[in-house]
């Protein structure tokens, strides 16, 4: 059997489990099993695809399957050498792109549009050379692995139309090469992480996840809202406390003055004398100013 660097079976003919023996293909750097009827979980051995776990040493010769029996077994193929003058269409970055000579540098894993269940392997971050990763339109569950943040070369990621739950791992903000992402129509929740490329995507990549919150979505996270409400409540309580302190202080001062005047006759007499004198001064000032105003107005 020739060295297998590219395996593409977009045929709607294959079903059953994805064989774990695929990981034995040490040069396999392009695996496209989309639009089939594969079921069961993603084999954990897929993280052992050594050609997807290295940053250099891409294959110079690529092979693809041109024939194979329908069914769950993927062992008996016929292969044909792909000429670099031949263009191969690849769905990546949200669009169908044609590759020819660049295909030898394309590290790609596409298992979309099948009936796969279970969780994404937790060690998927081992495939550090991946440029395109598509698991959309399956029935996957569980959380997005934190290790996905190790895929620093990743340019296109599509996990849409599954049943993934939990929060989007903050490690995804480390994917600085990511130019296309789709996490829509899952059961994701919590705050959308911020930082680097992940901040450049619009709200459409998160639609269908009613539990998500924060930018670029228009609704804020409950934690942030409650925090803001708490700060607002603290501010209101502070105002109430200040006003209450002023009122209590004013009442206490009046009570002290009243008690002093009640038990000190000399203070009481002095107070009323002061009030009478103040009243007389104010009355005289008002009368004089009113007379001057009438004289100026000719009244």
pLDDT digits (tens, 9 = 90+) for 31-42: 889 999 999 999
What CATH number does the domain containing 40 carry? 3.80.10.10
138/211 same-domain check: yes
Mean pLDDT (whole number) for 84-109: 57
Query: How many domains does the chain divide into?
Result: 2
Domain limits for position 288: 264-299
- Residue 81: pLDDT band with limits 50, 70, 90: very low
Whether residue 142 lies inside any domain: the answer is yes
206/278 same-domain check: no
Whether residue 51 lies inside any domain: the answer is yes
The answer on pLDDT for 89 being more than 60 is no
Residue 23 DSSP code: G
pLDDT of residue 45: 92
The answer on pLDDT for 19 being more than 80 is yes
- Residue 150: pLDDT band with limits 50, 70, 90: very high
32/145 same-domain check: yes
Q: What is the pTM of this model?
A: 0.66
Q: How far apart are CA 34 and CA 18, in angstroms?
A: 12
The answer on pLDDT for 131 being more than 60 is yes
The answer on pLDDT for 156 being more than 90 is yes
- Nearest CA to 188 out of 215, 163, 166 is that of 166
137/10 same-domain check: yes
268/198 same-domain check: no
189-212, pLDDT tens digit by residue?
Answer: 999 998 888 889 999 999 999 999
271/129 same-domain check: no
Listing DSSP states for 179-196 in one string gives -EEE--SSEEEEEPP-SG
Whether residue 99 lies inside any domain: the answer is yes
16/150 same-domain check: yes
- Nearest CA to 131 out of 110, 114, 145, 111 is that of 110
pLDDT of residue 276: 78
């Amino acid at each position: 059997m020739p060295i297998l660097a590219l395996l593409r079976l977009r045929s709607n003919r294959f079903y059953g489990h994805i064989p774990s023996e695929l990981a034995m293909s040490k040069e396999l750097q392009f695996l496209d099993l989309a639009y089939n009827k594969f079921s069961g979980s993603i084999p954990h051995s897929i993280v052992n695809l050594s050609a997807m776990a290295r940053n250099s040493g891409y294959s110079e010769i690529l092979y693809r399957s041109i024939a194979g029996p329908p069914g769950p077994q993927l062992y008996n193929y016929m292969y044909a050498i792909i000429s670099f003058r031949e263009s191969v269409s690849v769905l990546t970055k949200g669009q169908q792109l044609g590759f020819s000579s660049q295909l030898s540098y394309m590290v790609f894993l596409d298992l979309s549009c099948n009936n796969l269940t279970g969780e994404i392997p937790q060690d998927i971050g081992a495939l550090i050379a991946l440029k395109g990763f598509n698991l959309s339109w399956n029935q996957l569950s569980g959380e997005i692995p934190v290790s996905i943040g190790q895929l620093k070369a990743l340019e296109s990621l599509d996990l849409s139309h599954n049943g993934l739950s939990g929060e989007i791992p903050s490690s995804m903000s480390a994917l600085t090469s990511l130019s296309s992402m789709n996490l829509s129509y899952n059961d994701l929740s919590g705050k959308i992480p911020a930082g680097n490329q992940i901040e450049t995507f619009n709200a459409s990549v998160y639609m269908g996840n009613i539990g998500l919150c924060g930018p670029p979505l228009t609704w804020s996270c409950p934690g942030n809202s409650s925090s803001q409400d708490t700060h607002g409540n603290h501010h209101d309580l502070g105002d109430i406390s200040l006003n209450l302190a002023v009122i209590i202080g004013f009442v206490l001062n009046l009570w002290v003055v009243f008690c002093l005047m009640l038990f000190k006759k000399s203070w009481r007499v002095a107070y009323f004398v002061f009030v009478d004198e103040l009243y007389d001064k104010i009355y005289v000032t008002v009368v004089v100013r009113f007379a001057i105003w009438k004289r100026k107005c000719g009244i």
